[in-house]
């Protein structure tokens, strides 16, 4: 029996950790179990440090199809590129564990989490983080803290810790908190659609298309009030403290001997650092104060060249990499000192001040909806495109046997030119996927779900110096409005930061890139005028719950300011002329069958003739027409109403051999369709026309001609005709 097993029952989770069983050549490894879910987490480290002064940490969360007893779909029958959920989970683990590493740790480290058995009720993100944490803690890397995660949900009005996935799906809040002891490391939160939404089944009448999924009735936006959110995070923090204390005790016997790694010292005491401070302090300060990000980078590069020249002339080895490292550390300390001691931000703003904002909507004439949102040196162009249900994105989850469908998509693109880099545009990376997902989570709670089609938002970042993801939220909300998609409320976003040392701290509103890079926190907050819809917190140093509440209060002031500007812009926003035209009306439900026609022939003819899509409600007689040409949509409406308004005909019993007057309705190769006096159509076959009248039928008859015909035979609705000349 393997004795290297730890069983923990904490915060509603029953977990088992098995050490020294698998992947024993890795620096650290664990086999983790929760219910039927089994994950293998490993840590591998390169014992040669990189030359750059950063932590080269890579996290891979990988789901194996066999874990759910499935074979990968598509042509290639093996796992290939990661799905969005895998990328998002990898980012979440990275953000939670990165703060644990000591400063000066510059060794390439790879954390891998493999899902080898799944469970539809197990939260894979919580499980993956716990497995990765255990593998890291016992790995011999100088990490002395454990991290734990708690997911908080509101289900049926009650707060639930670590809910089952089925319960989470019907809840109104999804809050993920990771931390260690009394410190919070990472937070992700989103408000969910109301569990009280009613559904109505609507049929797609085009027989070539599947049925349309349910239409969701209008819902309220389930944003969370700031005090309640602080309370929820506090609840999670207390649960995390209990969990990490248990982990510290339980995992301690399995920690490997510390690896002999050299942790690089700070440069504050080096001769080069002092040399820069003595001779180039004013130059660095001037570079920092330069407003434009590109100009700041250029000036610092010039300063670095001057330092290298002067340092070499003073008899030292002018190592370019070393000078860049020390200058970067000096610049970081100066930025923080300016904020903490002098109360000065790099761009001269007050701590609570939002950068100037400009908004332009519907600037793209051929697009369904668009918004150019500019905040300082951050600019995004967000577009909205509307489609029907067949345009939805299909995807699969390891915890579900069925394919899922996503009808609201937010795609975020970050080209190199947005920060002045000569980098070609490639496939989206984890950062792009993560930022797009955050914007989606921010906007989704306010989306009026009575729109049953597919919506795609695309954010093109044109400039970036500060949170472009939050600009995407603001621009996305207004792009939806310009596409005539109703948001229950406008949603805005702002990135908050913090600088703290020696018991002092300053909270910064609407941070720029420099403050993100050299600060201690990037706290993205989105919300309406009434509460928070989503948030994401990345930190470099742990934060306590009191500080969290303080940041949230300052974020509220910024959101109110931004929402005021957005509301003013929204007043002047008109729907795009490129929007497809829509007509919604009702007819007698009994006439729906006439609109469809035999085997769908009538509805297909209308769709092709007027270039429209048609949704019909069989029970209530509802009709929805959508098309690009407004005139054709209106014509289709009139045509459908004319069919619906036609009174029910009573078939006459024709007298065999009697002459009737009919109207030529349609000429075909094999004869002529004649509209009889009662409105029914009958066929005058080519063989039943007088032999004396020869030639092409189109020369003999014309549409609308009134002619005499003789009824030869009647079988139900089938009537055969002949001309009087043929009878004679």
Q: Where in the chain is the domain with CATH 2.40.50.140?
A: 659-727
CB 8 within 8 A of CB 242: no
CB 173 within 8 A of CB 224: yes
| Topology, domain 659-727 | OB fold (Dihydrolipoamide Acetyltransferase, E2P) (2.40.50)
Strand partners, 224: 532
Q: How far is CA 169 from the centre of its chain?
A: 17
Q: Where in the chain is the domain with CATH 3.30.230.70?
A: 5-254, 357-498+544-571
Task: Report the pLDDT value the prediction gives residue 223, as an integer from 0 to 100.
Answer: 85
The one-character DSSP state at 491 is: -
Q: Look up residue 287 and give its two tokens.
A: 């570079």
Angle of the 630-645 helix axis to the 601-610 helix axis, nearest 10? 150
Strands (E), 557-705: 581-586, 613-617, 622-627, 659-668, 671-675, 681-685
Task: Report the pLDDT value the prediction gives residue 203, as an integer from 0 to 100.
Answer: 30
What SS3 class is residue 473?
helix
Sheet holding 357-361, edge to edge: 357-361, 369-375, 378-387, 454-463, 408-413
What SS3 class is residue 265?
coil
Tokens 């600019």 belong to 379
Low-confidence ranges of the chain (pLDDT < 50): 1, 194-219, 267-268
CATH fit for domain 5-254, picks 3.20.20.100, 3.30.230.70, 1.10.3720.10, 2.40.50.220: 3.30.230.70
Output helix, strand, coil percentages for the chain, rounded to the nearest 5. 35, 30, 35
CB 172 within 8 A of CB 220: no
Q: Where in the chain is the domain with CATH 1.10.10?
A: 271-342
Task: Report the pLDDT value the prediction gives residue 74, as an integer from 0 to 100.
Answer: 73
Q: How far apart are CA 459 and CA 467, in angstroms?
A: 13
In terms of DSSP H, where are the helices of 505-623?
513-518, 545-571, 592-596, 601-610
Q: Answer positive or negative: Cα dihedral of 564, 569, 571, 574.
A: negative
Residues recorded for the chain: 728
Helix (H) or strand (E) segment spanning residue 597: none
Q: How far apart are CA 483 and CA 470, in angstroms?
A: 20
The one-character DSSP state at 496 is: E
What is the Cβ-side half-sphere exposure of residue 1, based on CA atoms within 13 angstroms?
Answer: 2
Q: Which CATH architecture has domain 271-342?
A: Orthogonal Bundle (1.10)
Q: How far apart are CA 646 and CA 594, in angstroms?
A: 10
Task: Report the pLDDT value the prediction gives residue 208, as an integer from 0 to 100.
Answer: 30
CB < 8 Å & 24+ apart, contacts of 348-351: 348/289, 348/291, 349/510, 351/506, 351/507, 351/508, 351/509
Q: Which CATH architecture has domain 357-498+544-571?
A: 2-Layer Sandwich (3.30)
CB < 8 Å & 24+ apart, contacts of 517-522: 517/332, 518/331, 518/332, 518/335, 518/336, 519/336, 521/496, 521/497, 521/551, 522/467, 522/495, 522/496, 522/497
pTM exceeds cut of 0.85: no
Q: How far apart are CA 400 and CA 118, in angstroms?
A: 9
| Topology, domain 581-645 | Ribosomal Protein S8; Chain: A, domain 1 (3.30.1370)
| Torsional class of 537: left (φ above 0), alpha (ψ -120 to 50), beta (otherwise) | beta
Closest C-alpha among 109, 96, 106, 103 to residue 54: 106
């Amino acid at each position: 029996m393997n004795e290297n097993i730890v069983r923990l029952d904490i915060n509603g989770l029953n977990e088992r950790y098995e050490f020294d069983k698998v992947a024993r050549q890795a620096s650290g490894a664990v086999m983790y179990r929760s219910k039927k879910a089994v994950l293998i987490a490993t840590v591998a480290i390169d014992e040669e440090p990189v030359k750059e002064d950063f932590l080269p940490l890579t996290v891979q969360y990988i789901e194996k199809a066999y874990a759910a007893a499935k074979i990968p779909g598509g042509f290639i029958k093996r796992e290939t590129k990661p799905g969005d959920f895998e990328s998002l989970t990898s980012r979440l683990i990275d953000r939670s564990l990165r703060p644990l590493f000591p400063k000066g740790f510059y060794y390439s480290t790879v954390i891998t989490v493999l899902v080898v058995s799944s469970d539809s009720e197990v939260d894979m993100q919580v499980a993956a983080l716990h497995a990765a944490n255990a593998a890291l803690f016992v790995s011999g890397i100088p990490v002395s803290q454990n991290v734990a995660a708690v997911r908080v949900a509101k289900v049926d009005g009650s707060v639930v810790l670590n809910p089952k996935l089925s319960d989470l799906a019907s809840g109104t809040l999804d809050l993920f908190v990771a931390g260690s002891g009394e410190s919070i490391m990472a937070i992700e939160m989103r408000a969910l659609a109301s569990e009280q939404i009613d559904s109505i089944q609507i049929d797609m009448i085009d027989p070539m298309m599947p049925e349309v999924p349910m239409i969701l009735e209008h819902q309220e936006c389930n944003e969370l009030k700031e005090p309640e959110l602080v309370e929820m995070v506090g609840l999670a923090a207390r649960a995390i403290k209990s969990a990490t204390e248990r982990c510290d005790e339980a995992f301690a016997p399995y920690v490997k001997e510390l690896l002999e790694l050299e942790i690089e010292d700070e440069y504050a005491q080096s001769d080069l650092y002092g040399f820069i401070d003595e001779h180039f302090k004013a130059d660095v300060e001037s570079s920092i104060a330069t407003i434009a990000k590109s100009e700041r980078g250029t000036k610092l590069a010039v300063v670095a060249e001057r330092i290298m020249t002067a340092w070499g002339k003073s008899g030292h080895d002018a190592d370019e990499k070393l000078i860049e490292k020390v200058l970067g550390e000096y610049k970081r300390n100066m930025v923080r000192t300016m904020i903490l001691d002098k109360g000065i931000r790099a761009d001269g703003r007050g701590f609570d001040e939002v950068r100037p904002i400009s908004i332009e909507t519907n600037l793209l004439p051929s697009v369904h909806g668009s918004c150019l949102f500019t905040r300082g040196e951050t600019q995004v162009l967000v577009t909205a495109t509307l489609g029907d249900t067949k345009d939805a994105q299909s995807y699969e989850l390891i915890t579900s046997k069925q394919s899922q469908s996503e009808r609201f998509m937010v795609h975020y693109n970050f080209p190199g030119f947005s920060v002045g880099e000569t980098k070609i545009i490639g496939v989206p990376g984890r950062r792009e996927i993560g930022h797009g997902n955050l914007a989606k989570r921010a906007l989704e709670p306010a989306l009026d779900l009575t729109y049953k089609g597919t919506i795609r938002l695309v954010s093109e970042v044109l400039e970036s110096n500060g949170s472009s993801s939050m600009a995407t939220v603001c621009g996305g909300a207004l792009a939806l409005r310009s596409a005539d998609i109703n948001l229950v409320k406008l949603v805005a976003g702002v990135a908050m930061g913090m600088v703290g040392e020696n018991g002092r701290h300053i909270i910064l509103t609407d941070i720029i890139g420099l403050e993100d890079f050299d600060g201690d926190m990037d706290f993205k907050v989105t919300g309406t005028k009434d509460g928070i819809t989503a948030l994401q917190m990345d930190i470099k140093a742990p934060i306590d719950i009191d500080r969290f509440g303080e940041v949230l209060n300052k974020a509220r002031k910024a959101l109110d300011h931004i929402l005021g500007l957005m509301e003013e812009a929204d007043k002047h926003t008109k729907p795009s002329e490129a929007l497809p035209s829509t007509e919604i009306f009702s007819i007698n439900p009994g006439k729906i069958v006439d609109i469809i026609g035999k085997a769908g022939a009538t509805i297909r003819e209308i769709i092709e003739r007027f270039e429209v899509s048609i949704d019909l409600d069989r029970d209530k007689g509802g009709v929805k027409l959508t098309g690009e040409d407004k005139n054709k949509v209106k014509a289709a409406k009139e045509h459908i109403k004319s069919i619906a308004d036609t009174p029910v005909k009573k078939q006459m019993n024709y007298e065999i051999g009697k002459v009737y007057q009919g109207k030529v309705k349609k000429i075909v190769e094999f004869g002529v369709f004649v509209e009889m006096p009662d409105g029914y159509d009958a066929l005058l076959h080519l063989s039943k026309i007088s032999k004396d009248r020869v030639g092409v039928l189109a020369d003999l008859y014309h549409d609308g001609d009134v002619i005499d015909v003789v009824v030869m035979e009647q079988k139900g609705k089938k009537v055969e005709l002949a001309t009087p000349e043929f009878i004679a």
